[in-house]
Structure 1
Amino acid sequence: MKAVILAAGYGTRLQRDIENDTTGNFKHLGGIAKPLLPVGPCALISHWVQALTKTGCVDTVYVVTNDLYFEAFQQWAQEFPNVKIINDGTRRNEDRHGAVACLQLTVKLCAMDDHLLVIGGDTLFKEDFSLRTFTERFSEVQNKEKESNLVLSYQCKDEETSKYGILELDENLKVQRMKEKPLLHETSSRNACPCFYLFSKTSIPLLDTFLSEKKVQLIYIYEIMLVLFFLMQLFSIQNAPIEERDAPGTFLSWLILRRPVYVHRISGRFDVGNLGSYVECDKYFKDQLLNPTVYLM
């Protein structure tokens, strides 16, 4: 099994918060990629690599980042011989490829033909999560259906459904559909899905299919937008540009309709998006983590 940690984002919200912070307590975090932020005793991403290494769940960990942070990740990875750093070649947030394209890039460059664990580089979990238990659950669903995939889910609050991808499940914890940031009345489910997926090796080739389909759709959308642009010019209507964001959940949502996807439940997660969420995460690891030596294992 292989693992890919997605770390090609630019952390614009967090960096903006650091710049605007008047206390000066977080000035030292400026310019640091989110996965390399200190969380408790080590960098956020080191928690994952240490656990993946000690449990033997994977033989290689690929970290895909951008050209701006490539050197910093190369330096960090010197203490981990099983880690390989992939550079997506971008240097600006406006030029980023998106998570699914970065995943495809890594698969192609490394000629992967194995089950693939995909981890969001800004995500950590509470202590009830266990890599060993998760991979055991994957073996169970694989025994049911060889093309099965496994994702995580936790119960979010009612007011949080519009922030996350929400999974709707059957009685066997098989995903029936995924709704992206639905309003409260649009689903009765509260099963939020973080970026932590174990894709079967039979699902990996579908990345090409997904991105090819999306490319055709984007060309069609672009043509429509051109028509709308000329109409707006004609009627002097102004509007803000629309930015296409390629979140990893878009591939999962598409995959659910084509391959079996099951859920493994956990109690919650830390999603480092802004300064407040970083402080909360760091505090947990400094003050509340009960068993740091076996965390994530």
Structure 2
Amino acid sequence: MKAVILAAGYGTRLQRDVVADSSGRFAHLAGVAKPLLPVGRCALISHWVHALNASGCVDCIHVVTNALYHAAFEEWASQFTNVKILSDQTTSNDGRLGAVACLLLAVKHFKIEDHVLVIGGDTLFKEDFSLSKVKERFSELQAVCEDSCLVLSYQCKEEETRKYGILEVDGDLRVTCMKEKPLPTETKSRRACPCFYVFAKKSLPLLDTFIEEKKEAPIEEKDAPGNFVSWLIPRKPVYIHQISGRFDVGNLPSYVECDLYFKEKQDDDSYML
């Protein structure tokens, strides 16, 4: 299995917050890509690399970034032997390719013909999350059907459904549909879907199909990787693996919360294993 970490965003909200902050406490975060933000004892993305390597889930980690942050990611990656950096060649948020296109870029550039673990570069999970359990669940699904894919799910609050993609599932925990930012009255489900997916190698050719279908669509329809998941659900079996929650670093308050959590609680080597 290969890992692709999506890290080509520009962090516009967070950078806007850093500039607007008058305390000066966060000046050191100016111009830093979100995955490279210091969280606890290391960069946010380093938590993933340490856990992926220690768990043995993948044999290579590919990180897709943009031209603006490419050099910074290359410098960061020099401490690891199995991390490869790829730039999408964009230089601004307005010109971004979108997450699905970045994933396809990585699959083609690195000639990936294996199952792919896709991770949002600005996301971390609570301590109950386990890569080993994810691998075990995916293996069980693959033994039944090689087309099967796996996504994560956690219970969000009723008022938060409008912020996330919400999954509806059947009794076998197979996803029947994903509703994008629905009103609480539009679905009984409260299953939010973070950016962490295991795509079966048999599903990878569908990335091309999706991008081709959406080539004339606005960037919003192909940016969030959840758009591909939603499109994939009627075409391939997609199942959920349940977790308790996540950290999604989108703005300064969410970064402060995440950093504090890891400074206080995550100081052992078993995190996410």
TM-score, L = length of structure 2: 0.98
Whole-angstrom distance in 2 between the partners of 1:245 and 1:202: 21
Q: 1:225 maps to which residue?
A: none
Aligned counterpart, 1:187 = 187
Alignment of 1:74 with 2:74, yes or no, is: yes
What residue is the counterpart of 2:257 in the other structure? 280
1:112-261 aligned within 5 A = 112-216=112-216, 218=217, 246-261=223-238
1:293 partnered with 2:261: no
8 A contact 2:100–2:222 mirrored in 1: no
State the 1:59 CA deviation: 0.5
Does the Cα contact within 8 Å between 2:214 and 2:221 map onto a contact in 1? no
Instruction: Give 3-state SS (helix, strand or coil) of 2:247's partner.
Output: strand
C-alpha distance 244-131 of structure 1, shift in aligned 2 (>3 A) = closer
CA contact (8 A) 2:211 2:222 kept: no
Q: Which residue of 1 aligns with 2:45?
A: 45
TM value normalised by structure 1: 0.90
Residue 106, structure 1, aligned to residue 106, structure 2? yes
- 1:29 corresponds to: 29
Q: Give the Cα–Cα distance (whole angstroms) in 2 for the partners of residues 162 and 144 of structure 1.
A: 34
- SS at the partner of 2:260? helix
1:288 to partner: Cα distance:
2.6
Displacement of 1:146: 1.4
- Report the CA distance between 1:215 and its aligned residue: 1.6
Alignment correspondent of 1:224: none
Hey, what does 1:269 align to over in structure 2? Answer: 246
Q: 1:57-96 residue pairs with structure 2 within 5 A?
A: 57-96=57-96
Larger Rg: 1
Q: Percent identity of the aligned residues?
A: 67
Q: CA deviation at 1:91?
A: 0.8
Task: Answer yes or no: is the 8 Å Cα contact 2:221–2:227 preserved in 1.
Answer: no
Provide the rounded CA distance (Å) in 2 between the counterparts of 1:117 and 1:273: 22
3-state DSSP of counterpart to 2:215: helix
Deviation, 1:55, is 1.1
Counterpart amino acid of 1:7?
Answer: A
Q: Which amino acid aligns with 2:249?
A: V
Q: How many residues align?
A: 273
Which amino acid counterpart does residue 116 of structure 1 have in structure 2? V
Shift of 1:245: 5.9
CA-based RMSD of the aligned residues comes to 1.2
The offset of 1:246, in angstroms, is 1.4
Q: 1:101 to 1:243 in 2, by over 3 A?
A: closer
What do residues 107-164 of structure 1 show as CA deviations (whole Å, max 9, x unaligned)?
Answer: 1111110000000000000000000011000011112221000000000000000000
How far does residue 292 in structure 1 lie from its aligned partner after superposition?
A: 2.3
Distance 1:42 1:24, change over 3 A: same
Which runs of no fewer than 5 residues in structure 2 stay unpaired? none
Q: Which amino acid aligns with 2:70?
A: F
Partner of 1:239: none
